Structure 1
Amino acid sequence: MTVQVIENLWIPLADGVRLAARLWLPETAEATPVPAVLEYIPYRKRDGTRGRDEPMHGFFAAQNYAAIRVDMRGSGESDGLLDDEYLLQEQDDALEVIAWLAAQPWCNGAVGMMGKSWGGFNALQVAARRPPALKAIITVCSTDDRFADDIHYMGGCLLNDNLWWGAIMLAYQARPADPAIVGDDWRAQWLARLDHLPFWPALWMRHQSRDAYWRHGSVNEDFAAIECPVLAIGGWADAYTNAVPRLLEGLRCPRQGIIGPWAHIYPQDGVPGPSIDFLGEATRWWDTWLKGQDTGVMREPMLRAFVEDHRAPQTTLPFSAGRFVAERVWPSEGIAEQVWHLAPGRLASAPQSAGTLSVRSPLSTGTAGGEWMGTGVPGEMPADQRYDDGLSLCFDTPPLDTALDILGFPVVELALSADRPRAQIAVRLCDVSPDGASLRVSYAVLNLSHRDGSTDPAPLVPGETVRIRVPLKVCGHRFPAGHKIRLAISTAYWPLVWPAPDAATLMFSLAGSRFSLPVRPIDAAETPVAFAPGRSGPATPGTRLRDGRMARGVSFDHIAGKTTFTTIGEGGLFGEGVVCWDDIGTALSHDLTRRLTIVDGDPFSAEATIEQSYTMLRDDWAIRIDTSLVMTGDAENFRLTGTLKAYEGDTLAATRSWSETIPRVHV
């Protein structure tokens, strides 16, 4: 089918703001209206996501859909200012966009909404607002709970990715609208945007418990509000996968889930492979709910998930061996809890009647943990866990007599006390091969002030025994015969989370402490699951100008006792390289260096620094954004400083600086 691409069109809102959109339209749509598929994010349809948008939205248009990429208010070429993520204003604007789409002469009145990450979040949030024209959504790599499972906090611990993402948002939102779209007013609009720019990481650090700020936009507050069909997608190497089984369990609308081995990537490009024909699966979803066709979608199992095979630990993983399995409903009727009890050095089949064990890990424990959110690039996966296992309290099963499959949430329940009021715990599930190599299968961290939930956290009473229950990240894995299952417990997980202000020792009572696994029978009668390989529409025309580079490493200063974790992306945030988009003549480059340092035994030595430079180049236009951020902390406060310099050519157009002291509240 012939597809017309409209580079920019304006969507007017009631308050006079115009949102900028890029449209892929079937040539026949003016005569025979078609459904519309909306992706609504702040990442610049003109250049920022151009390479991803063209082959995906062009594919949908070729299947007889009007595919539209809209820049949110205050981003890209859209008017207005962007104050934060997931605001009510963002949802309100989306409702107007959906109504506008449904009313266009080329649209038949049916709209679908989709997105990955931010776009997956707001697809769920907008669905909960029930706009009449919205008939179905697809949410990829998103969450139903903004406090429990987003880039800011995990288990009540502050993620260091909060600063990383906040720094990136500074650079992203400091980019000007393209003069080729908005005209001569672009510079005044740019300066206004720079003057208004929020200090993103501080916005999120001011909310250190699950307050109204985080409950807003968390659709698990009221699953019943979502009535349109939902297809939820996740990947084991991504950080957002917990939401998929929770959505399947909590929603009552038509729903399905797919979990693959992938990182934070659409599955047609999925890494680790195997990729799948996500665009074909999405088209079947849209055909069912937007065109009323019987595609057999709702006769598919509710969950199709990839069970990964064991592999040697490696930080770069292009492909994951394993198989897709099917669960007719979720929670599954066939998955059973297998319970192990904690005993000295081992996981035992019988509960222990007495005994205690203690652990206080070096603050640098966790350097083998890999990135919180995989993006499918070299070096990001967890390394051999023996680095961290040696600094942790470990419990092993005997070698398994037969292979064992798990699918779901492992759970650890512990009776513990601490010698300090503020403490953290990290728990890891590992697959230990006969040669001793330790592969991380799942993990969790918990700020023990949040042991009874994150709405009203409270410090521990030193010496008082408490019981905690910690679900680990959802996972699908096969432990081979002859391997051991290991539970590893530490009191730190750097550089994933900021350390607790007290370096505490934890004491565990073995009586009543247990670890349960969601075991899926290997010999179960299987519903065959087969996906076609990934495919896309025509690629975006582009010329590679320079290769990128990605580096990750840890160094130890054995005199100062300092550990430094460094990540470097050159030419692209993830080392993608510098590409010029040929049809708009614009080249983008993004360099970022992050350093996270800590001295064992001194939680106040923790420091995070991020330096980055973002450039946009065209024959007649050159923009550069340089930022520098630093974060430190003491017993009572976090301290954040930042600078931003924006250049037009060699001329400094604007500068911003921030310095904030944020009280620590049970973090």
Structure 2
Amino acid sequence: MKYGRIAAALSAALALPLTPHQPAHAEADLFFSYDRPATYGVRTERVSVPLRDGGHLACDLHRPDADGRFPVIVYDYNAYNQLEAQGRAAAYFVTRGYHAAVCNARGSGDSPGRLDPFSAQEQRDNYDLIEWLAAQPWSTGKIGQTGVSYGGHSSLLVAVNKPPHLAAIIPVDGISDWYENTIYRGGIYSARIRDWQRAVAPGTLVTYAQHPLYDDFWRERSVKARWKDLDIPVLEIAGWYDRYRAAMVENFQARPGNVWLVAGPWQHGWPSGQHADPGNGAYLAWWDRWLAGRRDAPLPAAKVTSYEIRGPGAGAGWKQFSTWPPPGARRHRLGLSADGTLTSAPGAPAALHFTVNTDPAAAAPDERLTFQTRPYQQDLVLAGDITAKVRASFTAADGNIAIVAEDVAPDGTAARITQGWLKASHRFGHDRAVPVRPGKTYDLELRTWPTHYRLSAGHRLRVTVSSDDHPEIDSDAPAGQVHLRVGRGGTELRLTTWKDPR
């Protein structure tokens, strides 16, 4: 199978070189404008990297055309057989004094074996690759790793395995937990991922379905389960329009001492070519600092550099914070009212209901409930997640809840801001399913993906509550109705908001 043809299913096929140009960067942060001239040409050779079990990885090694020892970057380690494109992307760093190893994961391209994405075997192979590169006579022994999506998660996973010579990583659109971030969102299988499974790793269509609960199979593939071991310098590059933004924020929040977060107005994939592309400077500064030992190479001016977005296009620009959510962020409560409003004074207690949608087609009007605020009189900045405390009962022995938040413009057009989901039987966690008793009211807490979003004056916040959000989750809830408690003491939202103190 030609994995390169289907890589777009997860990595958006954005493995092209970062284009040198004057970037749109965070104010005057020298980290983003850092650069130095190219010094070397590039020479390339195919190598076979031995593994501890007798197997090997097929790699293209791109090296400066000069004698001497240089640090090494493992560039976008994935299963997509994109060695040529990745080599072009890595050339910028090779010409500035780095070796770049571009390799096919076991079971892809010319690397023999069975592909099992993010498994313990794949992690051991990555560990062995790093240590082999460190031992070569042309290597300084300082190794870094980067990659987007599959390659981003590989970078994080190998870091928590702690190979002695891995000095720093740059995961782009990486993951904290393969189960929660991709496969079972809120405990509900994601229809979005199946095309990727069929094309890249069809065996997972069987194995993933055999593990609907969070068990050791998933812990093996999780960074979250080993956050304590994520202790090297990490530069996370995330997109506020990306489906893995929650994971990147979680990684930062778990390890704020050694993780820096840059979150831009980007879709899934490398920022290259997207609005506010930071260019090459930040990547080079990071490698120069941690691999080459250049003390003049700056770190980011703040632990969090975030682009405040608005609507489906460009937003209000870059902001820098010491942490996330930003200092001074506040929790703002809104209740769901029986009249369909979203307000801080939700009125008398009441019950509304919607019919469960068992079809992947868009929900019909009776299969969702919608609530919205009055037009805001001034801008509202969301800087974090929206937590929904849902009070609901089900006519079946289980059910799904999907929360979708949207920005509604004065002309009625809407743009999705964020979303969150939960299978009711997973209300105590994903490691066990606790049956639902039909007719009993449950308190369910859902966290949406975080965002940094400016809701403009004159716009409304709209929230939809339903049982499905295809293709983000399967429409697999049993048929029936969901009864939602609203008004005082009923379902409410907690927004994380921020106001510039200046």
TM-score in terms of structure 2 length: 0.87
Partner of 1:601: none
SS of alignment partner, residue 425 of structure 2: helix
Among 203, 208, 213, the residue aligned to 1:209: 213
- Looking at structure 1, the residues matched to 150 and 232 of structure 2 have their Cα atoms a distance apart, in angstroms, of 19
Among 81, 98, 102, the residue aligned to 1:69: 102
Partner of 1:323: 317
| Cα 1:475/1:161, change in 2 over 3 Å | same
SS of alignment partner, residue 339 of structure 1: strand
Partner of 1:274: 276
| Cα 1:63/1:18, change in 2 over 3 Å | same
Kept in 2, the 8 Å contact 1:409–1:472? The answer is yes
Kept in 1, the 8 Å contact 2:260–2:303? The answer is yes
**Letter of the structure 2 residue corresponding to residue 19 of structure 1:** L
1:558-573 correspondence runs (5 A): none
Range moving further from structure 2, 472-481 or 250-259 = 250-259
Q: Once the two structures are superposed, what CA deviation does each residue of 1:223-243 show, in whole Å capped at 9, x if it has no partner?
A: 111111111111123211111
Kept in 1, the 8 Å contact 2:425–2:433? The answer is yes
Deviation of 1:305 (Å): 1.5
Deviation of 1:411 (Å): 0.9
| Cα 1:514/1:110, change in 2 over 3 Å | same
Matched, 1:401 2:401: no
Among 15, 33, 37, the residue aligned to 2:73: 37
Matched, 1:259 2:297: no
Range moving further from structure 2, 239-248 or 5-14 = 5-14
SS of alignment partner, residue 288 of structure 2: helix
Partner of 1:3: 41
**Letter of the structure 1 residue corresponding to residue 277 of structure 2:** S
Percent identity (aligned): 27
Which one has the largest radius of gyration? 1
Among 106, 110, 118, the residue aligned to 2:142: 110
Among 227, 246, 263, the residue aligned to 2:250: 246
SS of alignment partner, residue 409 of structure 1: strand
**Letter of the structure 2 residue corresponding to residue 39 of structure 1:** Y
- Looking at structure 2, the residues matched to 438 and 308 of structure 1 have their Cα atoms a distance apart, in angstroms, of 15
- Looking at structure 2, the residues matched to 68 and 388 of structure 1 have their Cα atoms a distance apart, in angstroms, of 51
Deviation of 1:439 (Å): 1.6
Among 227, 237, 242, the residue aligned to 2:241: 237
Partner of 2:469: 493
- Looking at structure 1, the residues matched to 351 and 166 of structure 2 have their Cα atoms a distance apart, in angstroms, of 56
Partner of 1:374: none
Deviation of 1:426 (Å): 1.1
1:511-522 correspondence runs (5 A): 511-521=489-499
Matched, 1:288 2:289: yes
Matched, 1:97 2:129: yes
Partner of 2:192: 161
Partner of 1:143: 175
Q: Once the two structures are superposed, what CA deviation does each residue of 1:76-123 show, in whole Å capped at 9, x if it has no partner?
A: 112x31241112121222222111111112211100011111211121
Partner of 2:482: 506
1:222-621 correspondence runs (5 A): 222-251=226-255, 253-270=257-274, 273-277=275-279, 279-295=280-296, 297-298=298-299, 300-311=301-312, 319-344=313-338, 345-350=340-345, 352-364=347-359, 367=362, 391-510=367-486, 511-521=489-499, 523-525=500-502
- Looking at structure 2, the residues matched to 283 and 218 of structure 1 have their Cα atoms a distance apart, in angstroms, of 28
Kept in 2, the 8 Å contact 1:310–1:480? The answer is no
| Cα 1:412/1:284, change in 2 over 3 Å | same
**Letter of the structure 2 residue corresponding to residue 336 of structure 1:** R
Partner of 2:164: 132
- Looking at structure 2, the residues matched to 87 and 505 of structure 1 have their Cα atoms a distance apart, in angstroms, of 39
Gaps of 5+ in 1: 171-197, 312-318, 368-386, 526-667
Matched, 1:50 2:84: yes
Gaps of 5+ in 2: 1-38
Partner of 1:200: 204
Deviation of 1:258 (Å): 1.1
Kept in 2, the 8 Å contact 1:365–1:388? The answer is no
- Looking at structure 1, the residues matched to 42 and 476 of structure 2 have their Cα atoms a distance apart, in angstroms, of 55
| Cα 1:296/1:504, change in 2 over 3 Å | farther
Deviation of 1:404 (Å): 0.8
Deviation of 1:138 (Å): 0.8
Q: Once the two structures are superposed, what CA deviation does each residue of 1:436-462 show, in whole Å capped at 9, x if it has no partner?
A: 222211111222221221111122110
Kept in 2, the 8 Å contact 1:416–1:506? The answer is yes
| Cα 1:453/1:72, change in 2 over 3 Å | same
Kept in 1, the 8 Å contact 2:356–2:367? The answer is yes
Kept in 2, the 8 Å contact 1:135–1:290? The answer is yes
**Letter of the structure 2 residue corresponding to residue 474 of structure 1:** P
SS of alignment partner, residue 487 of structure 1: strand
- Report which of the two has the higher share of strand: 1
Kept in 1, the 8 Å contact 2:326–2:383? The answer is no
| Cα 1:295/1:247, change in 2 over 3 Å | farther
- Looking at structure 2, the residues matched to 462 and 275 of structure 1 have their Cα atoms a distance apart, in angstroms, of 51
- Looking at structure 2, the residues matched to 398 and 81 of structure 1 have their Cα atoms a distance apart, in angstroms, of 58
**Letter of the structure 2 residue corresponding to residue 24 of structure 1:** H
Kept in 2, the 8 Å contact 1:232–1:256? The answer is yes
| Cα 1:145/1:352, change in 2 over 3 Å | farther
- Looking at structure 2, the residues matched to 41 and 435 of structure 1 have their Cα atoms a distance apart, in angstroms, of 46
SS of alignment partner, residue 236 of structure 2: strand
Deviation of 1:365 (Å): 7.1
Kept in 1, the 8 Å contact 2:325–2:383? The answer is no
Kept in 2, the 8 Å contact 1:364–1:493? The answer is no
Kept in 1, the 8 Å contact 2:94–2:100? The answer is yes
Kept in 1, the 8 Å contact 2:42–2:91? The answer is no
- Looking at structure 1, the residues matched to 415 and 193 of structure 2 have their Cα atoms a distance apart, in angstroms, of 26
Deviation of 1:49 (Å): 4.7
Root-mean-square deviation (CA), in Å?
2.1
Kept in 1, the 8 Å contact 2:79–2:107? The answer is no
| Cα 1:321/1:105, change in 2 over 3 Å | same
| Cα 1:145/1:297, change in 2 over 3 Å | farther
Count of residue correspondences: 461
Deviation of 1:37 (Å): 0.4
**Letter of the structure 2 residue corresponding to residue 350 of structure 1:** A
Matched, 1:119 2:114: no
| Cα 1:102/1:495, change in 2 over 3 Å | closer
Partner of 2:57: 19
- Looking at structure 1, the residues matched to 74 and 471 of structure 2 have their Cα atoms a distance apart, in angstroms, of 37
**Letter of the structure 2 residue corresponding to residue 250 of structure 1:** A
Kept in 2, the 8 Å contact 1:364–1:495? The answer is no
Kept in 2, the 8 Å contact 1:366–1:495? The answer is no
Q: Once the two structures are superposed, what CA deviation does each residue of 1:347-393 show, in whole Å capped at 9, x if it has no partner?
A: 121254521111125445764xxxxxxxxxxxxxxxxxxx8778521
- Looking at structure 1, the residues matched to 403 and 80 of structure 2 have their Cα atoms a distance apart, in angstroms, of 39
Deviation of 1:322 (Å): 3.3
SS of alignment partner, residue 267 of structure 1: coil
TM-score in terms of structure 1 length: 0.66
**Letter of the structure 2 residue corresponding to residue 50 of structure 1:** E
